[in-house]
Amino acid sequence: MASRGRKRKAEAAVAVAEKREKLTSGGKGMEEVTVVIEHCTSRVYGRNAAALSQALRLEAPELPVKVNPAKPRRGSFEVTLLRPDGSSAELWTGIKKGPPRKLKFPEPQEVVEELKKYLS
């Protein structure tokens, strides 16, 4: 019997990681530091991402903040700092946190403090 063309989980994870890296880099070299917020598309995640992006924009108005530049992973909430040299620093990840769900979301001030560490 022929296979149905399904990808194995490991192959799919590698493909998703490569695709996300291509999309976040935009296919061209970055000239500036960027903050990327990846969040699941449910309402609760969106509200928290909006509050966090607002806090980041108030603290560092010169930094661009991108929310979901690529299709987000299910149940994800991550904040990443992308540097011009192509490296990245994870400011927050809530993927392995919870239950309860509220543990997945950081206090905006925590992320701002972490951002200050990486920028100085």
Separate counts of helices (H) and strands (E) for the chain: 3, 4
Token pair of 28, please? 């061209």
- pTM for the structure as a whole: 0.67
What are the pLDDT tens digits along the chain (120 aa)? 566 665 555 555 555 555 555 555 554 545 788 999 998 887 667 778 888 889 989 988 898 999 888 888 887 889 999 999 989 999 988 888 777 878 888 888 999 999 989 887
State the greatest distance between any 2 C-alpha atoms of the chain, in Å, as a whole number.
59
CB neighbours of residue 27 within 10 Å: 6
- For tokens 């990486």, the residue is 118
Q: What is the pLDDT of residue 27?
A: 47
